[in-house]
Amino acid sequence: MTNTQVTLVQIDNYGPWTVTPEPRREADLQTLQSRLYADISQFVGNRDGYVFFTRFDNMIAVTNGLSMSDHRLLQETMGNRYPVTLSLGVATGTSPVQALSDATSLVQDAGSAQDKSRRECLEGRVIDDAHRTDDDVQIAHFDVVDATGQYTDELNAFDSFIHIEQGYAELMRHMRSDHESLSFFVGGDNIIVVCPDLERSEYETAIQHVEAAVDVELQVGVGRGISAHDAGFAAKHALETCRADGTRVELEW
């Protein structure tokens, strides 16, 4: 049974900062956001977690294996490197959507995203080491079948982007509403989905749904593990099997 540990990372009082004392240059904000994401990804990734950039001012991480003191260190080291601070909410559960919802409530209850006095709050709790298991995390790695031949080598780069984004939007909504799962676009034509315990038929239905709705063909590899890295790595191997064998759904367990 999955037990996903989800962390909401929210930049403190970022909106006002972007316009104080006057609006800051957009390219500088883009640079800050992408560097902050890169540093958080490295910190979390070195501890076998995943973080997704989402809206950049709010990022969502799968942090199975990170302790509360790891979270505190993340706040300290980013606070030392950047002109902004981070608040973190951590929650766990069999449903990734519910865990994220609980993590979000913890941060919201500590104060508004634009509250000057809410800085570096750290709320919630993690899974004890003794209770961690090899099937705590289930990750599905989707990609578009032959995106290169269908889109990248055929259409202009913006029209390719529209097709890929439509596939993402449809999959994200379906997995959220029907399967309590969190889907994240991770570049190229790839979407990583953090799932509860789902079976082959549910992935088949999701792929059929996206194809019927927006005519984008997907394939998916699914893995389980004690951490996001372990589950995600198994999913990548399963996706390689799809590519080699022409199958649409491969489960690696």
> Binding residues for ligand GTP, per CB under 6 A?
143-148, 186-190, 236, 243
Reference 203, options 140, 131, 116, 129; nearest CA is 140
Render 205-234 in DSSP notation, one character per residue.
HHHHHHHHHH---EEEEEEEESSHHHHHHH
At 60 the three-state DSSP class reads strand
- The distance of closest approach from Cβ of residue 107 to ligand GTP in the complex, given in angstroms and rounded to an integer, is 27
DSSP state of 150: I
C-beta of 132 vs 243, nearer to ligand GTP:
243
Q: Whose Cβ is closer to ligand GTP: residue 1's or residue 157's?
A: 157
Tell me the longest C-alpha to C-alpha distance in the chain.
Answer: 57
CB of 186 to ligand GTP, least distance (A): 4
Q: How far is the CB of 145 from ligand GTP (least distance, A)?
A: 5
What is the nearest approach in angstroms of ligand GTP to the Cβ of residue 146?
4
Ramachandran area for residue 170 (φ above 0: left; ψ -120 to 50: alpha; else beta): alpha
For tokens 């984008």, the residue is 216
Which amino acid type is present at position 230? D
Question: Nearest Cα to 189, choosing from 175, 207, 168?
Answer: 168
Nearer to ligand GTP, 87 or 160 (CB): 160
DSSP 79: H
What is the smallest separation between the CB atom of 236 and ligand GTP, expressed in angstroms?
Answer: 6
Q: In the complex with ligand GTP, which residue's Cβ is closer, 57 or 143?
A: 143
Chain centre to alpha carbon of residue 163: 21
| Residue whose C-beta lies closest to ligand GTP | 188
Q: Rounded to the nearest 5°, which phi and psi values hold at 84?
A: -130, 160
Which is closer to ligand GTP, CB of 121 or CB of 191?
191
Per DSSP bridges, beta strands 86-93 and 182-187 are: unpaired
When the beta carbons of 20 and 148 are compared against ligand GTP, the nearer one is 148
Least distance in angstroms from the C-beta of 12 to ligand GTP: 28
